[in-house]
Amino acid sequence: MQSATTAKQIDRKDLTGPALRTFFRIADAWGLKEQEQMRILGLDSRSTFQSWKRGAVAAIPKDALERISYVMGIYKGLQILLPKTANDWVRKPNKASIFGGRPAVDRMTSGNVADLYVVRQYIDAQRG
């Protein structure tokens, strides 16, 4: 029988590759610059970012998986709400109070996981 920590490590290892590949596809679709991607992922180190991009990492931290999960939810919600313009939405100025007239990408790239959560909640609320 394996311990709970071993199970969590295995889960993260199993999720890391697919999560990163999906994140980088979404980042491309949204036209995110390297610095924006790093901020969303919560990374300071460009070399760590490059390793992740190459897939040269066994398991990313739980925090990074949480961030990618929010990005995936935002992406999916936008595809449902705005099938034709979903990828442009992140860069368009937004009048909703949580964005204060700025594009959603500004909030998403604050570096705070809470801001990704807020954007995800906003998209989910728009879906009803």
For the chain (128 residues), the mean pLDDT of every run of 10, in chain order, is 56 92 98 98 97 94 96 98 96 96 97 97 94
Helix crossing, 34-41 with 46-54: angle to 10°? Answer: 90
pLDDT at residue 75, as a whole number: 98
Position 100: which residue type? G
Write out the residue range of the structural domain in which residue 43 sits.
4-127
Quote the number of domains for the chain. 1
pLDDT at residue 10, as a whole number: 59
pLDDT at residue 3, as a whole number: 54
